[in-house]
Amino acid sequence: MRKTKYFLLMILLIAYQLNLQAQNETVVTGKTIDADTKQEIAGVTISSKRFETVSNSDGTFKISVQAGNDTLTLTHTGYQPNRIPVDNNLSFLVIELSKKENVLGEVTVSTGLQQIPRERATGSFDLIDNKTLNFQTGSNILDRLNGIASGVLFDNTKIKSGNKKYGFSIRGLSTINGLQDPLIIVDNFPYEGDINNINPNDIESISLLKDAAAASIWGTRAGNGVIVITTKKGRFNQPLKIELNTNVIVVAKPDLYSLPQISSTDYIDVEQFLYNKGAFGSLINDPSQTALSPALEIFIKRAGGQISAADSASAINAIKSIDARADYLKYVYQAAVTQIYSLNVRGGSGNMTYFISGGYDKGIGHLNEKSDRATLRLENTYKPLQNLQLSLSVIYTSTISKSGKTGYNESGIKIGNRFVPYISLADKNGNQLPVASNYRDGYTDTAGSGKLLNWKYYPLEDYKHNTTKSNGQSFVARFGLQYQLIKELSVDIKYQYERDQLSSRNLADIESYSTRNMINLFSQIDQSTGLVSYAVPYGSILNRSGSLLKAHNVRGQLNFTKVLNEHSINAIAGTELRETRSETDANTIYGYSDDLLTTATVDFLHEHPTYINGSYGFIPDGIDLSERYNRFVSLFANAAYTYKNKYTLSGSLRRDASNLFGVNTNDKWKPFWSAGIAWDIVKEGFYKSSLFPYLRLRATYGASGNVDQSKSAVTVITYMGTFSYTNFPYARVSQFSNPDLRWEKVNTLNFGIDFSLKKQIVSGSIEYYRKNGTDLFGPSPIDYTAGTMSNILTQNIANMKSNGVEISLQSKNIDRAIKWFTTLLFSYNLSKTTAYYAAEGQKFRPGYGRDISPIVGKPLYSILSYRWGGLDPATGNPRGYLNKDLSTNYLAIFNSITSPDSLVYSGPATPKYFGSIINTVNWKGFSITASISYKLGYYFRRSSIDYGNLFSNGIGHPDFSKRWKQPGDEQFTNIPSMSYPANSRRNQFYLLSEATVSKGDHVRLQFINLAYDFASDKKAGNFFTSLQLYFNASNLGLLWKANKEGIDPDFPSSIPSSKTYAVGIRTTF
Amino acid sequence: MKHTYKILVFVMLVLVFLMPSCKKYLDKKPDKALQVPNSLSDLQALLDDGYLLNGTNGVSFDEASADDYYVPDDLYNDLSVNNRNAYLWRNTDYTNYPNDWGYIYNVVNIANIVLDNVQEIAITALNKNEWNNIKGSALFHRSFAFLQGASIFCKAYDDNTSAQDYGLVLRLTSDITLPSVRASVKDTYNRIIEDLKSAVPLLPDLPVHVLRPSKNSAYALLARTYLSMRKYDSCAKYANLSLLIKSELINYNAVDVTAFVPFERFNAEVQFYNIINQPNYASIDPYYARVDSLLYSSYASDDLRKEAFFYQSFPGYTFKGSYSPYQLFTGIATDEVYLMRAESYARLGDKDAALSDLNTLLVKRWRTGTFVPVAASTANEALGIILIERRKQLLFRNLRWMDIKRLNKEGANIVLKRIISGETYLLQPNDNKYALSLPADIINMTGMQQNPY
């Protein structure tokens, strides 16, 4: 890396020499603004006799002139050209340009590496401006994209994980292995930290880079699209501007009743049935005293003659009326409230700009969990020399959170090994009740005859004694240097340091159940002396964990701009190094006193006998250490050539390398390229249409690839720690050498039309794209005789073709005193499997549409099912087809499916059509905006009753009550009869049959936004530039759904997002 | 303009020169815990993964098919379809992974990775012991897995037919792309014996920890292999060699036999520790499994094992006598080695030596002062007693299935019987079903021969 230093030094030396030669020239600075709006204009071409430049995003420019003997010519596609003679007075020039008629306002999009005037962009960019971002409220900036960005699909059904943190995709997934999130760029660098650390009030705009040409400049991680977040900044020569925003967001209690839960009556009837069958025999006599449900305890007492038949019946009837969710809603959940305050100050003089913002969010969640966030942001730009611009920014975020109560588990309350839906948390007077979650009540009543700690669990009280506090600090510092070497060439050097630290502290004090349980479990009572010995010392248990992320980014970039007559070239080339280092550590402290900071020593080395059944166990030390490094090196170049401002050709090239382990160095480097073309048809002489005063065509093509982490040329092992019995370090194979794996390749073709009708009554763009994926990764069955620890291995399993259309239209329906605007977003996306490499002898199974569909010609993600033959009229058994005959031989049915075509195809598992319609009506200061979103043309699989799960885990489903009970029922139900013992194949057949498929189509009221601007009429002497009062309601529920079962397809078996209301004030002065 | 091009050329050149130094930058490991197994300590660490090599493999198809236990009707209903089929020897298609086949070959592959890599490391005076121990241990683990596999998936060894009978897939390298082909039963056993014989000189007499293999356990495993092949002279020879190194027995009088967990982990009899942590076939879990009632009643009241091994459950009796608290012990213990030697001596006609071994063991199993040494008039009578005591001592050790197979070859005529809801199911001696089925997906994918049933 020392070479970089020499390189920079050389560049500076050369630059200095060039400067000397240019001595007879003088530099003028200035700014280009719109004659009407006084807004700065970026992208104006300014030429002097010898030089030429383009104005920056803030409208400023600097250019060398021959003093007293020169003229500046300013040209811009959206504006009338202007010529300004340069005299000897070289003060800061403010040059006004008048708009050409019927032309869209000049917009530049940021790729994070450069600003591209929209009219020269060949690729697919979406720009979401500040106003649109403010339609929605909330602390997470990315969630605000829901319903306002075209091609962006939010998917709540998928579980968020390390690979998929944000829960949405742009133009569908390009890979199912590896990272599935779009790449997030904040200003100029990829953002590694927690997205919640970004204060949305600091954000100016967001650009979405969707096609290969737009995204490929970001290389490897751009396969899922790129989101460029641009923060607010001060501008040169900008008067002081203060922005204040405060709001309160209230989120209603979650709708627990939308969970598919079996009724308590049905559940207890099943318990009775199983009890009579003797299914709980071993559990009842279990020496581990595993907890049993209240109903089972009653049956046992009745069987032992401890209670009368009448008492037993009335006790059972009493608990049948209990639904645990009622107590949870009454005693546990509350409406969540977040208060947000944000203030920023910005401005600038001739040679410096500043931006200072502070934000404070305070939230209390549904479970009384608390979170605080404070953000501070300082940004400065300084021009010490005409050719030199330095920028420095510092962002500091501090978060504090404290855990709350324990929420409702989606399956019920766990009692022993089973989930039970009818537990009470408090009696009818509101006094809290203990819940026997681990051990039977009868046992914990008397265990240790008073010598042990209380062994009861009180859910309503416990959270006070078992709390987790987390403290996060995030610090980002950026330094930038831009130097204009010569007229055509500038060098940019940017550096960013990011440090995110999070420390968590879980204190379970001596009154908490987990600590009491731990101490009791490892206690021994000497039978003769009655003395208790503790292996886990008396006192609190403290679990501490910390994580630290440090990221360094450095980028050197050359920017080249040259305009020669009708030719104009814009090019950048650069190199980037990135390192992220993350460390975690955790440990557990026993016998802890939070007041005195005393601790006790514990024997982690030996096994200790446990109290209940005498089995042995280790006391967990909770130690966890890890240290990870990710390093990336990239080279990139991007050039655009424009001829006569009509034709633009663009190309980009990037190579990325990372420190993937176990991969040959040659495989570490991946090339990405793209090419594009744009044609401003309006500027052709033959174009006469007055209907479309603005019409532009563009096309791009690009290639990218994906290498799987498990593509390993060698066997890689991971050290797992110390083996508890031996104290020897031990390791496990984490990657088997899999030399057969090839790269996943995706080629993307994109066509776009940007247009505007006269007076911009309707404007918008239409995009068509095609993705061609080959050798897609997917799980494929393997011969595990090879000892691969799994029966599936990532292999190249399929090719796909994807077609998509995105339409984005803005219309001015009424543009008078009352204004009515409509934005229509429409996306169509359908990916098809074009080849599938099945393993030999593979049996095909239906699923939930999350894996690549094996049927060639059908959507890549499809809902496939076993063919449904109705219920057997005599038994209520689900029936399928075996060689065209009705059959209940499920195993034979499964085994007969040796070709994927034998499965029934319902339709795609992802929406074929989706988008939203946003209407805004303005009248005087009032403004109302409503967004309706839709997802159409897809199917999903409902959850239903799984008798195996019901019998062994207590997880039921409301479908249970609609099951087949007697002959004739098959006329109106598809839900199989209860069969005991559980037949897993029968359950599996039903759950994956056509009978559980529903249409997913739905229309949702996304949000309503109401605002009043007090300062809109701009009366003289108004102190505020603007003062806006707003109200927002979101997650308002479905307007229409295709399925008759009343299921929200976005949340088929989970709690839907709760209704959210916000009210606030936004003001500028 | 000239300068512009010069600068561009210069920048290009610099970028080109930067490339090689990037290689070093990119060679940084992404995770400190990651490693390519290329040192002896890495290979030893792979072998020290006790979860995989001594524990979690829930291999239990054989025990679940054997007759030390039964499952009461109502608990039978709670078993999975696969488990019910296994319990009644209805060895229909099954594919559910993880299964015994996969677990056994996971162990084989770890051993193969170690064996492939250890060859790449030069032996020096300094690392010789470590190198030997690693290679010997890997050979031992592979043999242990192969023997387990042979007991489950192959017919009993028979000198007359084993060259034709279907054996295991003998995977001897870690190349996962190699096709799977079944060897013969004869080749399978020959491989086990050859590997164990080459492991013996490499291993230490006694292990640093019983999770690691050693000479005594390798000899014992050889004895077990020969026993299952019914080659009693070799069995006696290696059992003897094992006992020469380690012969300690626990005196059950010193054990709290009333405790729910009477035996400690790594007790004095354990030579090589191996357990079933989570059985693939839950029916052998104490939750379901009840001890065969005839077997239970065969223990005399002064026999401490009656109390130490069982507790009353509802219905019947449940086993608690494992040499590993709360999991079934399936490793090698000294009691088994005594019983192997005793049986071999008896079969070779040495009645006194056989009874001496049996009495050495039993005196430590009976209440002090109550034990009357076993006497027999013939070696054959002694053999009968030894076989009964073998069953009483070694129940739930994954040995019974192997014993039934080989004893039926000796003409013991053991007929297995299950009764479910009043219906009786029988398994006749030397039935084809004694070679349990391979997973159906493996058969489909590889085209290997399924065991006939």
Q: Which of B1, B8, B9, B11 to mutate to test the interface with A (most CBs of A within 10 A)?
A: B11
Using the Cβ of B79 and the Cβ atoms of chain A, whether some distance falls under 8 Å is answered with yes
Beta strands B317-319; A168-170: pairing state: unpaired
Q: Is B172 on the interface with A (CB under 8 A)?
A: no
- In CATH, A26-100 is 2.60.40.1120: yes
Residue holding tokens 């009221």?
Answer: A1005
pLDDT value at position A102? 42
Task: Give the separation between CA A232 and CA A201, rounded to whole angstroms.
Answer: 9
d(CA B142, CA B40): 18
Segment A94-147, tens digit of pLDDT: 888 876 644 344 578 888 888 888 777 888 888 888 888 888 887 788 888 888
pTM value surpassing 0.95: no
pLDDT in tens, A490-513: 999 999 999 999 999 999 999 999
Angle of helix B128-153 versus helix B40-47 axis, rounded to 10? 30
Give the pLDDT confidence of A1001-1033 residue by residue, as tens digits. 999 999 999 999 886 555 545 567 788 899 999
Question: Does pLDDT of A86 surpass 80?
Answer: no
Name the B residues in 43-62 with CB < 8 Å from any A CB.
44-46, 48-52
Identity of the highest mean pLDDT range in A62-66, A290-294, B1-5: A290-294
Burial class (CB in 10 A: 0-12, 13-18, 19+), A976: buried
Strands A183-186 and A226-231: parallel
Of the listed ranges A377-391, A770-784, B18-32, the least confidently predicted one is B18-32
Residue A45 banded pLDDT, cuts 50, 70, 90: confident
Q: Identify the pLDDT of residue A18.
A: 42
Give mean pLDDT, residues A1046-1058: 87
Residue B281, pLDDT score: 92
For chain A, percent of residues with pLDDT exceeding 90: 46
A744-756 and A694-706 strand pairing = antiparallel
Higher pLDDT, A295 or A734: A295
Please give the pLDDT value at position B257.
Answer: 92
- Is the pLDDT at A301 greater than 90? The verdict is yes
Our measurement of the distance from residue A680's CA atom to the centroid of its chain's CA atoms, rounded to an integer in Å, reads: 37
Of A627, A631, A720, the CB nearest to B32: A627
**Which tokens sit at A485?**
């070497």
Q: Give the lowest-confidence range in A620-634, A711-725, B391-405.
A: A711-725
Return the residue in A275, A277, A717, A780 with the most chain B beta carbons within 10 A, the one to mutate for interface testing.
A717
Tell me what pLDDT residue A176 has: 61
Cβ pair A725:B211 closer than 8 A: yes
Has residue A759 got a pLDDT over 90?
no
Superfamily of domain A109-238: TonB-dependent receptor, plug domain (2.170.130.10)
Could you report the per-residue pLDDT of A648-661, keeping only the tens digit for each? 999 998 888 877 66
- Residue A889 contacts residue A866 (beta carbons within 8 Å): no
Class of the domain covering B40-89+96-446: mainly alpha
Report whether pLDDT(A395) > 90.
yes
Q: Is the pLDDT of residue A40 over 90?
A: no
Query: Could you tell me the two tokens for B116?
Result: 């492939």
pLDDT at A90 over 70: no
Nearest alpha-carbon partner for A808 in A260, A34, A281, A126 = A126
Strands (E) across A785-860 are located at 792-815, 818-836
φ, ψ of residue B315 to 5 degrees: the values are -85, 170
Chain A CB within 8 Å of residue B26 CB: yes
* Residue B255: partners with Cβ closer than 8 Å, 6 or more residues away: B262, B263, B304, B308
Tokens encoding A114: 């450069």
Average pLDDT, integer, range A542-564: 92
Per-domain residue ranges of chain A: 26-100, 109-238, 264-322+407-462
A560: closest chain B residue by CA: B4
Residue that has been written with the tokens 């023997």 in this structure: B147
Contacts of A791 in chain B (CB under 8 A): 97-98, 102, 441
Beta strands A413-415; A203-209: pairing state: unpaired
Q: What are phi and psi of A484, to 5 degrees?
A: -85, 105
- pLDDT higher for A176 or B73? B73
Q: Is A1 exposed, middle or buried (0-12, 13-18, 19+ CB in 10 A)?
A: exposed
Which of the 8 DSSP states describes residue A10? Answer: H
Residue A741: count other Cβ atoms within 10 Å of its Cβ.
Answer: 18
Give the DSSP letter of residue B123.
Answer: P
The pair of three-digit structure tokens given for residue A687, joined into one six-digit string? 């174009």
To the nearest whole Å, the CA of B354 is away from the closest chain A CA by 36
State the 10-residue block means of pLDDT for chain B, 453 residues long: 57 56 71 81 94 83 94 86 90 80 94 94 93 97 96 95 96 90 97 97 95 96 98 97 96 92 92 92 91 94 95 87 91 97 96 96 95 94 96 95 96 94 94 93 89 83
* Tokens coding A184: 């997030």
- For residue A23, name the pLDDT band (cuts at 50, 70, 90): very low
Of B76, B93, B211, the CB nearest to A891: B93
- Asked whether the beta carbons of A480 and A390 are under 8 A apart, the reply is yes
Identity of the residue in A715, A781, A952 whose CB atom sits nearest the CB atom of B37:
A715
- pLDDT at position A68: 67
Work out whether the CA dihedral A978, A980, A984, A989 comes out positive or negative: negative
Q: How confident is the model at residue A20 (pLDDT cuts 50, 70, 90)?
A: very low
**Model pLDDT, residue A355:** 94
What the block records as the tokens of A575 is: 């190199």
C-alpha–C-alpha distance, residues B234 and B226, integer Å? 6
Cβ of A791 and B97 within 8 Å? yes
Closest-CA residue to B140 (of B85, B213, B232): B213
Cα gap A659→A1000, rounded to integer Å: 42
Residue A784 has pLDDT above 80, yes or no: yes
Q: Stretch A993-997: mean pLDDT, rounded? A: 94
The predicted pLDDT at position A12 comes to: 46
Give the pLDDT confidence of A889-932 residue by residue, as tens digits.
Answer: 998 898 888 888 889 999 999 899 999 999 999 998 899 999 99
Cα distance between residue A1055 and residue A259, in whole Å: 6
Q: Provide the shortest C-alpha distance from residue B46 to chain A (in Å).
A: 5
Task: Please determine, for residue A62, whether its predicted confidence score (pLDDT) is greater than 90.
Answer: no
- A983 — contact with chain B (CB < 8 Å)? yes
Helices B400-409, B215-228: crossing angle, 10 deg rounding: 40
Q: What's the ipTM? A: 0.90
Residues B124-176 have pLDDT tens digits of 999 999 999 999 999 999 999 999 999 999 999 999 999 999 999 999 998 88
Is there a cis peptide before residue B315, judged by omega within 30 degrees of 0? yes
Q: How confident is the model at residue A711 (pLDDT cuts 50, 70, 90)?
A: low
